[in-house]
Amino acid sequence: MTGYMRVAQAVISREFLRFIHQRERFLAALVRPLVWLLVFAAGFRAALGLSIMPPYETYITYETYVVPGLCAMVLLFNGMQSSLSLVYDRETGSMRILLTSPFPRWWLLMTRLFGATIISVIQVYAFLAIAAMFGIDMPPLGYVAVLPGLVLGGMMLGSLGLVLSSVIRQLENFAGVMNFVIFPMFFLSSALYPLWKMAESSPLLKEICALNPFTHAVELIRFLLYLKMDWLALAVVVGSTVVLSALAVWAYDPSRGLMFRKV
């Protein structure tokens, strides 16, 4: 057991060291949601004509409604960023060294995923702190209650990044694949506008958004920030995390998965 913990510590420490030496990554993770919050939110609020957001009667302004969606945005982009580092590691050969370790492949991948998730959660709390400086704050206990939702959401999106990294052959193809995944997941969700508002324009679009796992990650974070629980969102996020994690472990098995003859 000591050996497993030592490996986990080494992999997670490597993720933190990489994060520390990539300060622009931290700044990008903060600037992106802040631009949406401080610039685009005003335009969306005017276009939607909303002040209070039913059925979330505790939400007073559009800004407080959209903050949970932007927290999920940080998790989404960081999950995709971690998959980029996996593609880079595979090209440089360090991924081969990691996966030829005598320890189980699933343990190595899950510890790396957990390390990336911790970094994502830190970035989310930094964003929430800056949002609070602009007067957009949440219930005090909500900052604590939301932690499990952030970890689950980060694990789900990080697992998706692991699966995608297994099918991207070259670093040059990363941007196209990520754009194909990130923007549909983000815009076809309840991150920026509620599903009931979406249904007014297109019932079919509303159903598509409801099937998007990212929508349920957003709703889980949203409810927990306001000290409530969305059990359906919790079930979908946990189920998606389990399925995507299992698929990632299978994909990184060179004898059976998508990584055959890649690693």
Residue 258 included in any domain: no
Residue 167 included in any domain: yes
d(CA 25, CA 19): 7
d(CA 86, CA 74): 19
| Residue 161 confidence (pLDDT) | 84
- Mean pLDDT, residues 212-233 taken together: 93
| Residue 54 confidence (pLDDT) | 45
| Residue 258 confidence (pLDDT) | 47
* pLDDT tens-digit map of 59-111: 456 777 888 989 999 999 888 877 777 766 666 656 666 666 677 777 778 88
Cis amide linkage into residue 55, ω under 30° from 0: yes
Mean pLDDT check: name the lowest of 20-29, 31-40, 99-108. Answer: 20-29
Q: Could you list the residue range(s) of the whole structural domain that residue 119 is in?
A: 2-251
Which CA distances in Å does 168 have to 47, 97, 99, 171, 183?
A: 38, 19, 17, 7, 18
d(CA 259, CA 263): 6
Residue 84 is encoded by which pair of tokens?
Answer: 């980029």
172 falls in which pLDDT band (50, 70, 90)?
low
| Residue 55 confidence (pLDDT) | 46
Residue 260 included in any domain: no
Higher-pLDDT residue of 183, 6: 183
Residue 256 included in any domain: no
Residue 129 included in any domain: yes
- Mean pLDDT, residues 4-25 taken together: 71
* pLDDT tens-digit map of 175-201: 677 778 888 888 888 888 788 777 777
Residue 262 included in any domain: no
Residue 259 included in any domain: no
Residue 171 included in any domain: yes
Tell me the one-letter amino acid at 161: G
Domain count for the chain, please give it: 1
Quick one: CA dihedral 189, 191, 196, 201, positive or negative?
Answer: negative
